[in-house]
Structure 1
Amino acid sequence: MDQLQRQIIDALHVKPEIKPETEAREIIDFLKDYAKQHDFIKSFVLGISGGQDSTLLGKLTQLAVDELNEEGRSIQFYGVRLPYGKQNDEEDAIDAMKFIGQDTQRAVNIKPAVDAGVEALAQSGFELSDFVEGNEKARERMKVQYAIAAHTGGVVLGTDHAAEALTGFYTKYGDGAADLAPLTGLNKRQGRDILKHLGSPVHLYEKIPTADLEDDKPMLSDEAALGVTYEHIDDFLEGKTVPEEAYDRIKNLYIKSQHKRDLPYNRYNLPY
């Protein structure tokens, strides 16, 4: 392991191995402690896509809320689906909601808002690419979550974890924006192990990860978009040796996405 790999692992708080039951308990307790320390919080809000990350955080949040309510601290969890029109993997999202234990199936269709914004930009001479339109979807989803949080007196939860943070595989001020990021420090493999421990349906943690933001490339896998496998990313984060080509790709992704992990730059904190 070279200095850069060690630096990244330390910065992202990754453990070489975990006990799923211990990590689950720590995340639940983190959410509970935060709610207890902030009396103004009446809810947690999270978008549920049907993918591994939101399914994992959704389940842990529901467990935390259930315990809080049993202990006399009244709080609600709003897990909400945020499809752009018809979601390609909608059944997975519905299955995730059932596994999480959301009694009410809430969904907000972001398509009208996204399309209106894209059209307004086009009328002003800004024809967005399909990729940039995908970022608009991610930001609209986060905008909706903050609206729900404001309406219900809550905070927004984010699913960012070490594998995403390492590669910058999220939209800045979209899915990368949140008040709390309880999955910090976990890689994809570890998150999958926690879902297994929690009794998740197999198809929810074995499905191919995809952001599904681009109309021209529906259901494009994360690994195809990144140019490196999660297996190699997870190995890297656990301090293991990875092939040189994968190492170089991971290093370049980390360096190029540093701006996503920093606060907005000002005259006094420029990195050069």
Structure 2
Amino acid sequence: MQTQKVIDHIVNWLKDYAVKANVKGYVIGVSGGVDSGVVSTLCAMTGLKVLTLEMPIRQQKDQISRAQEHIAFLKNKFENVDGFTVDLNEPFEALYKSFDVNDEEFPNEKLAFANTRSRLRMLSLYYYGQINGLLVCGTGNKVEDFGIGFYTKYGDGGVDISPIADLYKTEIYELAKALDLPESIKNAIPTDGLWDAERTDEMQIGATYPELEKIQKEWGTKTESDYSGRDLEVFKIFSRMNKAAQHKINPIPVCDIPEEWRD
């Protein structure tokens, strides 16, 4: 990949979009992962105002330290970047107590609360975005957003703009290297950070991003019968998750009313 051309293209695209939208810049949630690390850096390179937020909710210590390290890295390198921590533990615990759901009666309770974390962060980003005249910048990649739908609807999927959604995870790691991000960010193991116990993306999905990318690049041109062994296993994972994620990937359906019924 021609990384410098891609970097310049995204930076110019981000700057042009903000100028046309008549906003001051972008607000981004920084998790300590490579996606948010790359996106926040690209936003900073526009020269526009950039606000980076770390929003811990029952967070693993290594995720907190990486996020804080990256925010410090950006603030030291770019004068247009500001950033701080918004501790969301207390409001999350209040929600947890208020909902009072029994996970024995509702098996999806743990997943629902994992997604609630993401939605609480989205709410926070839009609050700080609105009071500062900033757009919320997304950090989803191509596999997550358009392959298997590995994101929270109206959580990390609730954004104004998606600068890296046409890039595969392996390509984002290339950009991280070219941008010379902190080693902890460049080497971060992908995780959504939504669970009390550490759950990497690979543990949750059952496949690595390179494995998923292979299937997505061939999606629509090959069928299940074209695969065997591990590739077949990953194809089935991708197919199942892609089918289940159509409500995320496609626009919200609207029930059309026949014009003749309006008379």
Task: Please indicate the TM-score interval, normalised by the length of the shorter structure.
Answer: 0.7 to 0.9
For the Cα contact (< 8 Å) 1:47–1:82, is it kept in 2?
Answer: yes
Q: TM-score, normalised by structure 1?
A: 0.81
Paired residue secondary structure (1:101) = helix
**2: CA distance between counterparts of 1:134 and 1:85?**
11
Q: Could you tell me how far 1:140 is from its partner in structure 2?
A: 0.2
Task: State how many pairs are aligned.
Answer: 240
Q: Percent identity?
A: 26
**2: CA distance between counterparts of 1:198 and 1:237?**
26
**2: CA distance between counterparts of 1:225 and 1:153?**
36
1:88 is matched with which residue? 61
Answering whether residue 240 of structure 2 is matched by residue 252 of structure 1, we say yes
For the Cα contact (< 8 Å) 2:60–2:198, is it kept in 1?
Answer: no
Q: Which amino acid aligns with 2:216?
A: L
Give per-residue Cα distances to partners, 1:91-141, cap 9 Å, x unaligned. 111122133336644110111111212222228999772221111100000
1:4 is matched with which residue? none
Q: Which amino acid aligns with 1:154?
A: L
Q: TM-score, normalised by structure 2?
A: 0.84
Change over 3 Å in CA distance of 1:268–1:232 after alignment to 2: farther
2:41 is matched with which residue? 59
2:142 is matched with which residue? 162
Structure scoring higher RCO (CA < 8 A, sep ≥ 6) equals 1
**1: CA distance between counterparts of 2:217 and 2:12?**
24
Q: Which amino acid aligns with 2:99?
A: L
2:223 is matched with which residue? none
From 18, 21, 27, the counterpart of 1:38? 21
Give per-residue Cα distances to partners, 1:172-201, cap 9 Å, x unaligned. 000011000011210110000011011112
Give per-residue Cα distances to partners, 1:156-187, cap 9 Å, x unaligned. 00111101121111110000110000112101
Consecutive aligned runs of 4 or more in structure 1 exceeding 3 Å deviation: 101-105, 123-128, 237-242
Answering whether residue 187 of structure 2 is matched by residue 206 of structure 1, we say yes
Q: Which amino acid aligns with 2:69?
A: D
**2: CA distance between counterparts of 1:199 and 1:260?**
33
Q: Unpaired runs of 5+ in structure 2?
A: 220-226, 258-263
**2: CA distance between counterparts of 1:123 and 1:129?**
7
CA-based RMSD: 2.4
Give per-residue Cα distances to partners, 1:235-263, cap 9 Å, x unaligned. 23344987111112111111111111122
Change over 3 Å in CA distance of 1:110–1:19 after alignment to 2: same
Q: Unpaired runs of 5+ in structure 1?
A: 1-17, 67-74
For the Cα contact (< 8 Å) 1:59–1:99, is it kept in 2?
Answer: no
Q: Which amino acid aligns with 1:147?
A: Y
Q: Could you tell me how far 1:88 is from its partner in structure 2?
A: 2.5
Q: Which amino acid aligns with 2:249?
A: R
From 99, 103, 108, the counterpart of 1:121? 99
From 29, 51, 54, the counterpart of 2:12? 29
